[in-house]
Amino acid sequence: MKHNNASVNDKKIEAGRMAKDRLDEIRFKLKTGQISYDEAKEAALEPLEDLYAGMVEVSKKYGFGKPRKPNFAGMMR
């Protein structure tokens, strides 16, 4: 069973990495004026959740405490 669990955890970590790329793309579009602030905030909801899930798995894997949940304003700076 441990092998299955490791696979699920690795998928969450990879989804977190992909979410970070997606957030960078949203940030670029926001900074260049391609999308509005409200559109960017709406588009970033799911990637922020995926990023947090990946952060939790990494912290479990390496024995760190629970990470802070990322927010929209912090990621768009």
pLDDT in tens, 20-70: 999 999 999 999 999 999 999 999 999 999 999 999 999 998 999 999 999
Contact 51, 26 (CB under 8 A): no
Q: Which two tokens stand for residue 61?
A: 């894997």
Distance CA 21, CA 27 (A): 10
Full-model pTM: 0.84
Q: By residue range, what is the domain housing residue 48? A: 2-75
Domains held by the chain: number: 1
Start-to-end Cα distance in the chain: 41
